[in-house]
Amino acid sequence: MAIFSVYVVNKAGGLVYQLDHYAPRAEAEKTFGFPLDLALKVHDERVVVAFGQRDGIRVGHAVLAINGADVSGRFTADGRDVLELLSNPAHYPVSIRFGRPRLSSNEKLMLASMFHSLFAIGSQLSPEPGSSGIEMLETDTFKLHCFQTLTGIKFVVLADPRQAGIDSLLRKIYEIYSDFALKNPFYSLEMPIRCELFDQNLKLALEVAEKAGPFGPGP
Amino acid sequence: MSRELFVLTYGALVAQLCKDYEKDEDVNKYLDRMGYGIGIRLIEDFLARSAVRKCHSYSEIADMIAQVAFKMYLGITPSVTCINKRRNKFSLILNKNPLVDFVEELPAGRSSLCYCNLLCGVIRGALEMINLAAEVTFVQDRLKGDDVTEIGITFLRKLEDKKCKKK
């Protein structure tokens, strides 16, 4: 039972708040000898495993670190190309850490604006007038719930498909936003939310919702 | 929270503005501006706490303001009447107004001061956040010698969603 992340999108489609709440993701670090038995390729500026899944290293996992030093995209910390490095037998044995790639904040911003546009398209596609827009997006590994207020702010929660009570969680997040973000006199509307109290109360609300599990929070 | 403290704070605010600005129009303008800043934030609190459905007509909105919002925030329920055929001008008659509990009359030389102009700004700001442009003014004011205190709301138009520039 988990709530994976929370996004708050403003009227213009810009991301004003983002929280990742899931448990530490699986990472695997292994030492390899030449030649490498995993097929690697560059995808979206990262080096990912294309084929050769084994021992907790799955297809789609990205190279996170080489010999303990974090890589940035497809280059190591000292600027060398990762694939070139790994194709040279002189560098072996090498210890590589693989894991699910984390979204960078730019990627999150882009995804939020794309979702904003899809949301608008969703309400226009409706055969009935005055439709609400996308309320839920369901996949086999997560459900995305969206709540748009009458003022145009969207609260998006990604959660486990079995997690219940997300509707009331979305309303609760709206209340927390109206309390700790808006009532802060130094917070300007539509700007990124950087309020401690908002963070704390949001995390508390997420924990309450998670504890309630598949039955939702009590009455 | 003490109601007296709230009323006293508002009174102190108006008194200070009167000291800072000579002209009544300026004081009224700044009160309206402050109210606007409050209104644009208060609307979310109102929508979050009252869980109201979307309104589809100006008269529904006027009723909502009088019967739900005023009740929630000031504890009073003004009566609403529609005063024109196009159904976009409404008047809210306030029987009681907690903000003027301790005010007897306007000081000399301040005869066109709208003491509660903050409320007009609040309503205007709140309506703007739900994409409605409106003009809100005090039509009658007991403090100025009229029989009742009346707020006039004129709904002007529905605002288009502004596309703000992204950073």
Q: Give the residue-averaged pLDDT of B1-29.
A: 90
pLDDT tens column, A67-82: 888 888 788 888 888 8
Q: Give the residue-averaged pLDDT of B121-145.
A: 92
Burial A5-35 (b: 16+ CB within 10 A, else e): bbbbbbbbbbbbbbbebeeeeeeeeeeeeee
Q: Quick one: A169 exposed, middle or buried, by C-beta within 10 A (0-12, 13-18, 19+)?
A: buried
- Is the alpha carbon torsion for A88, A93, A94, A99 positive or negative? positive
Chain B residues near residue A147 by CB distance under 8 angstroms:
none
Contact B45 A152 (CB under 8 A): no
pLDDT of B164: 41
Return the closest-CA partner of residue A157 out of A171, B93, B115: A171
Contact B167 A14 (CB under 8 A): yes
Give me the domains of chain A, ranges plus CATH numbers.
3-23+104-211 (3.30.450.70), 27-99 (2.30.42.40)
Instruction: Provide the token pair at A183.
Output: 């009532």
Least confident of A88-92, B4-8, B11-15: A88-92
Low-confidence ranges of chain A (pLDDT < 50): 218-219
pLDDT of B19: 92
Which of the four pLDDT bands, split at 50, 70 and 90, describes residue B165? very low
Is the CB of residue A95 less than 8 Å from the CB of residue A30? Answer: yes
Contact A175 B48 (CB under 8 A): yes
Chain B contact for A174, CB < 8 A? yes
Q: Cα torsion for A103, A106, A111, A113, to the nearest 10°? A: 160
| ipTM of the complex, rounded to two decimals | 0.84
Return the closest-CA partner of residue B14 out of B3, B30, B37, B38: B30
pLDDT above 70: percentage of residues in chain B: 96
- Name the DSSP class of B55: P
Q: What is the rounded CA–CA span in Å between residue B54 and residue A66?
A: 55
pLDDT of B145: 84
Chain B contact for A182, CB < 8 A? yes
| First-to-last C-alpha distance (Å) of chain A | 19
pLDDT of B95: 86
pLDDT tens column, B96-105: 888 888 888 8
Average pLDDT across chain A, whole number: 87
Contact A151 B51 (CB under 8 A): no
Return the closest-CA partner of residue B113 out of B103, B122, B123, B101: B103
What would the DSSP string read from start to end of A34-50?
SSPSSEEEEETTEEEEE
Q: Give the residue-averaged pLDDT of B26-33.
A: 93
Tell me the nearest-neighbour CA distance from B76 into chain A, angstroms: 23
Q: What is the rounded CA–CA span in Å between residue A161 and residue A140?
A: 7
3-class secondary structure, A19: strand
Return the closest-CA partner of residue A7 out of A218, A192, A204, A216: A192
Position B82: which residue type?
C
